[in-house]
A and B are shown apart, each in its own frame.
Chain A
């Protein structure tokens, strides 16, 4: 089999390729810029971009490639964060315990939500995923021992036996960057694997997939769990970034933000969620300096992208028109 038959523009130096490359270089240089100019805020902002990009990436795997529009994805951020926070509070400071627990707890929640929601589709799927996220949100509010509504301060970052000190902002930034890049690579492998083609086929035409012999439900469920686990890891990063967890992490508006990031960046693109998260957070930051209602501008902007641009910002770069 040769590549002649493949439609993708892999390996060609397209506009999209250049933008992605420049983006990665810029991200790699943020700590250097911050160190040179003393702009600490840039570090904070871009660390958040990396973490939210990872959450949006995991959402994009199920929503963009799998057609499963989960409207409760922030729940996994919260579960990952609370796993770290609760363990820290209970005296388990090791990241080697905290992070796997964060991932496992999120995966487990995804199994439950997925098993119950994936039999439905469309608006019902959206409502069930939202309902589960709201449920876990109120559970967090009820956790008085862990701050309830007010949240919980984490006094000690995850400990990695002195190998990695997460209190070092630069180190933490690069850790987030590395985890994000590894996750993008993982999603890229998954999407192009046999498994990924099944997921995309089910998005495109679930009935046909079953007719040619795929039990699609179990593939979708596994995909759902992978995305949940990945978002749980992002939640563990987020907790270490803010040193604070609260139910607000998984408020439904945060789930909405993640969806916006994924759609804005371009749902069928590997770097779409990163571009989307960066655009969203930078715009939000810039707009909040000129207005107290940044959403008044962000909202219509998203509408314009959703209506007129097929494939988000990445679609613009690739020169795709609405089909």
Chain B
């Protein structure tokens, strides 16, 4: 058994009467691409929030690289090597693509109380950033303002920013959202190339992408993980079929 990068135990979060996370336990081994799927309102966004530190769970533990990170703020978790992409593209619009990625590199190269040297001329920031742009196929667009990038390119840039920090774990929050089939296919290709070298937790709606990419899939319904396994097992799981894959999209829970 390979070592676990991320280990979630009994994660619970209530919003009033709604249980958004209901005792979630999950473990990600190094190099794995683990997908979390689930219908709308299943608690996927809450789970992401709890992992990144934007939402404090009511109970449960999150161990990242052996360290309990439940009490750490967002930026500390990021520094430990937990990177994320945003569901709704969240970039620095008035910066170039390269600036965006270089800023992510900068965040992980010591403090930034450096007031004098021109940061855009520092090769130790620009070169890793260019390399990350290369991985997602945006190298030619390095000098383009985010403003002028297409939607698909911005999604790719999101991934490049997450990668540029050489993270232990990347959380991809619905990276295919709003993409056309061609753009999706390109992103799937990018992720396929990354597989193995980075541990990825993929939250995604696009079933084709998930089944094509994931080593393991966990199915989240009403804040609870109802099944976990490889694509074949998930496809065959009766509870999943009933709750999610639309064999009968009626009330399956409660």
Q: Which residues of A contact B (CB under 8 A)?
A: 1, 4-7, 189-190, 192-198, 200-201, 204-205, 207-216, 219, 222, 323
> Could you show 11 A-B contacts with beta carbons less than 8 Å apart?
A1-B121, A5-B98, A6-B143, A204-B92, A205-B93, A209-B103, A209-B107, A213-B79, A216-B75, A219-B112, A222-B113
- Chain B: CB-nearest residue to A204: B92
Measured CB to CB, the closest approach of chain A to B244, in angstroms, equals 29
Given A194-B106, A197-B99, A204-B93, A214-B121 contact (CB < 8 Å): no
Can you add 4 more A-B contacts, CB < 8 Å, to A192-B120, A201-B95, A205-B90?
A4-B143, A208-B91, A212-B103, A212-B161
Given A197-B106, A205-B91, A211-B84, A5-B142 contact (CB < 8 Å): yes
- Chain B: CB-nearest residue to A223: B115
Given A210-B75, A213-B75, A213-B165, A193-B108 contact (CB < 8 Å): no
Set A4, A189, A207, A213: member contacting B90, Cβ < 8 A: A207
On chain B, the residues within 8 Å of A216 by CB distance are: 75
Given A5-B142, A205-B91, A193-B75 contact (CB < 8 Å): no
Contact A208 B95 (CB under 8 A): no
On chain A, the residues within 8 Å of B6 by CB distance are: none
State how many residues of chain B have any CB contact under 8 Å with chain A.
45
Residue interface bits B111-155, CB-to-A below 8 A is 1, else 0: 011111111111101110000000000000011010100000000
Set A195, A205, A210, A211: member contacting B115, Cβ < 8 A: A195
Contact B98 A190 (CB under 8 A): no
Contact B78 A213 (CB under 8 A): yes
Taken together as a complex, chains A and B put the C-alpha atoms of A208 and B90 apart, in Å, by 7
On chain B, the residues within 8 Å of A208 by CB distance are: 86, 90-92
Contact B165 A198 (CB under 8 A): no
Taken together as a complex, chains A and B put the C-alpha atoms of A238 and B213 apart, in Å, by 66
Measured CB to CB, the closest approach of chain A to B163, in angstroms, equals 12
On chain B, the residues within 8 Å of A192 by CB distance are: 118-120
**Residues of chain B in range 56-114 having any CB-CB distance to chain A below 8 Å:** 73-75, 78-79, 83-84, 86, 90-96, 98-99, 102-104, 106-108, 112-114
Measured CB to CB, the closest approach of chain B to A219, in angstroms, equals 7
Given A197-B119, A204-B94, A211-B52 contact (CB < 8 Å): yes
Measured CB to CB, the closest approach of chain B to A318, in angstroms, equals 14
Taken together as a complex, chains A and B put the C-alpha atoms of A1 and B122 apart, in Å, by 7
On chain A, the residues within 8 Å of B90 by CB distance are: 205, 207-208, 211
Set A4, A204, A205, A212: member contacting B107, Cβ < 8 A: A212
Contact A197 B96 (CB under 8 A): no
Taken together as a complex, chains A and B put the C-alpha atoms of A213 and B111 apart, in Å, by 10
On chain A, the residues within 8 Å of B127 by CB distance are: 1
Given A1-B126, A4-B143, A197-B103, A214-B95 contact (CB < 8 Å): no
Set B93, B104, B125: member contacting A212, Cβ < 8 A: B104
On chain B, the residues within 8 Å of A214 by CB distance are: 75, 107, 112
On chain A, the residues within 8 Å of B95 by CB distance are: 200-201, 204
Contact B123 A5 (CB under 8 A): no
Measured CB to CB, the closest approach of chain B to A201, in angstroms, equals 5
Contact A323 B147 (CB under 8 A): yes
Taken together as a complex, chains A and B put the C-alpha atoms of A197 and B118 apart, in Å, by 10
Measured CB to CB, the closest approach of chain A to B115, in angstroms, equals 5
On chain B, the residues within 8 Å of A197 by CB distance are: 99, 102-103, 106, 112, 119-120
Contact A201 B92 (CB under 8 A): yes
Contact A195 B113 (CB under 8 A): yes
Measured CB to CB, the closest approach of chain B to A33, in angstroms, equals 36
On chain B, the residues within 8 Å of A6 by CB distance are: 120, 143
Taken together as a complex, chains A and B put the C-alpha atoms of A43 and B103 apart, in Å, by 45
Set B78, B83, B107, B117: member contacting A193, Cβ < 8 A: B117
Taken together as a complex, chains A and B put the C-alpha atoms of A219 and B74 apart, in Å, by 16
- Chain A: CB-nearest residue to B146: A204
On chain A, the residues within 8 Å of B143 by CB distance are: 4-7
On chain B, the residues within 8 Å of A209 by CB distance are: 103, 107
Set B102, B108, B118, B119: member contacting A213, Cβ < 8 A: B108
Taken together as a complex, chains A and B put the C-alpha atoms of A219 and B107 apart, in Å, by 12
Residue interface bits B236-250, CB-to-A below 8 A is 1, else 0: 000000000000000
Measured CB to CB, the closest approach of chain A to B132, in angstroms, equals 12
Taken together as a complex, chains A and B put the C-alpha atoms of A46 and B123 apart, in Å, by 43
Contact B92 A211 (CB under 8 A): no
Taken together as a complex, chains A and B put the C-alpha atoms of A196 and B74 apart, in Å, by 21
Contact A193 B103 (CB under 8 A): no
On chain B, the residues within 8 Å of A323 by CB distance are: 147
Measured CB to CB, the closest approach of chain B to A289, in angstroms, equals 40
Taken together as a complex, chains A and B put the C-alpha atoms of A210 and B99 apart, in Å, by 16
- Chain B: CB-nearest residue to A190: B115
